[in-house]
Amino acid sequence: MGGLTPGGERTVAKKTLKKVKHVPQRTCVGCRSVLPKRNLIRLVRTPEGVQVDPKGKMAGRGAYLHDQRSCWLRALKGPLANALKVELSPTERAALLAFLETLPESDDDPLSGPSSAESPSSMTP
């Protein structure tokens, strides 16, 4: 009885903290999802214009996007320019569109057919 444990055991607990890794999280400017940085593609504003930064190491203001066309298309409509605090020139826009063409197509593309006002009857000559 009366087993008062001395405080000698505390030193053990401290060392386990080292294993916890901090994963940087970023927001996709297309769909606003927050994900680990490694799952996103970085875009950076450089003096030459907005560029894709595959290695994520270029200096400058950056924004992140999924490797999904739908997110790029959405971002190009405004959110990307807002995030980078810059106006996208037609050249930059074209370059980014060319890049997104290399991305895999997603199964669900909400932007491909949003028009419900299609009337096939008007096609008749």
Q: Which residues bind Zn ion (CB under 5 A)?
A: 28, 30-31, 66, 71
Task: Return the amino acid letter for 30.
Answer: G
Sign of CA dihedral 37, 105, 60, 26: negative
- Which residue lies nearer to Zn ion by CB, 15 or 38? 38
- Which residue lies nearer to Zn ion by CB, 28 or 96? 28
Query: Between helices 69-76 and 90-100, what is the axis angle to 10°?
Result: 170
Closest CB 65 distance from Zn ion, rounded Å:
6
Closest CB 35 distance from Zn ion, rounded Å:
8
- Which residue lies nearer to Zn ion by CB, 31 or 95? 31
Question: Rounded to an integer, what is the distance from CA 39 to the centroid of its chain?
Answer: 7
